[in-house]
Structure 1
Amino acid sequence: MPTALRLLHALSPEHRDRLMSVAREVSFPADGQIFEAGGTADRFWVVRSGTVSLYQQVIADRRITVAQLGPGDLLGWSWLFRPHTWDFGAEAFSPVRAYEFDAGEVRTLFDQDPTLELSLTRTVGAILAHRLETTRAVLIEHYARHGGSR
C-alpha cells in the first residue's frame, strides 16, 4: 500500500459525507498525550495539521517511535477491533488539529449502512498492513543498532 493512502480520500464521496457528519474538530498541544497503550479505544482521528508520534513502550523507561503521522493520516484503529484497547501510545509532536470520530457514533452509522462499514474496514485494513510493515522495519533497525539492549 502506498503511504499516500488517506482514509477520507479512500472513501466514496457518499461514505465520506456520512462519516464526516459525526466528526468534530479537536486540537492537541505539542507534547500532549493523545492516548496510551492499554487504554480504552473509543475514538479515532484524521490528522488535519501537525505531526503525531506513535510509539511502543519497550521497557519501563524506554519507548521507540514507530511512526510519524501527518495531515490526512488515520490515528487510531483499535476502536474497530476487540478488545478495543490501544496497542500503541500517541503523542502530539507539534500542535495538532484533527477530526475526531466517536466509535459509538460510527458504529451506529455502520448499522444504518453496512456498505460504509465494509468500505471503512477495508481501508483501515490496508492502512494497518502498511503500518505493520513500517513498524517491523523500525523495530528491526532499532534492535540491529542496539543489539537488543537499552
Structure 2
Amino acid sequence: MDFTGEERIAAPRDAVWAALNDPEIMRGCIPGCQNIERLSPDTFEATIKVKFSLLSATFHGLLMLSNVDAPRRYTLSAEGKGGLAGFARGSADVMLEDAGAETVLHYRARAELGGKLAQLGGRLLDSTSQRLAEGFFSDFNAAVVAKMAAD
C-alpha cells in the first residue's frame, strides 16, 4: 500500500529537520510508540503498539535513515516483528521545501504487513496505515510549532 501527503509547518526548514532527527519528538508523534532509542546516527530501535480493527500488536524493530540530504530529505525505513500478529515493514520518503517562513513537508509512504495482519484485508490495512501516517505528520506539525514557541 502506498500513500502520499504533505504538511505545512509554521517553522523554518532547519527546525523541522532537527525535529525529524530528535528521538523524543519522534516518540511523541509516532502513534503507539512506547519507546525509541538512537543506536547510531542513522538507526533507532523502537517498540510500537498498533491496533488494526480487532487485532492489536506490539512491534519491536528498527527505524533506519538513508538517502540523507540534510536538511532537505531522507528515507525512513522501518521493520518490526509483532509476534503472532506478524510483521510490518515500510518506508517513507520525506522532503522538506521552504515556503517563506514555513516549511512544507512532503511524504510518500509504503507499508507491507505479513502474518495474521495481512489476513485482515487490504481496505482495512490501507485505511489504518493512512490514518497512522496522517496522525504522525499532524502530531509532528504540532510538536514542531510547540517547540518553536517554547524556544
Tell me the TM-score normalised to structure 1 length.
0.32
Choose between structure 1 and 2: higher strand proportion: 2
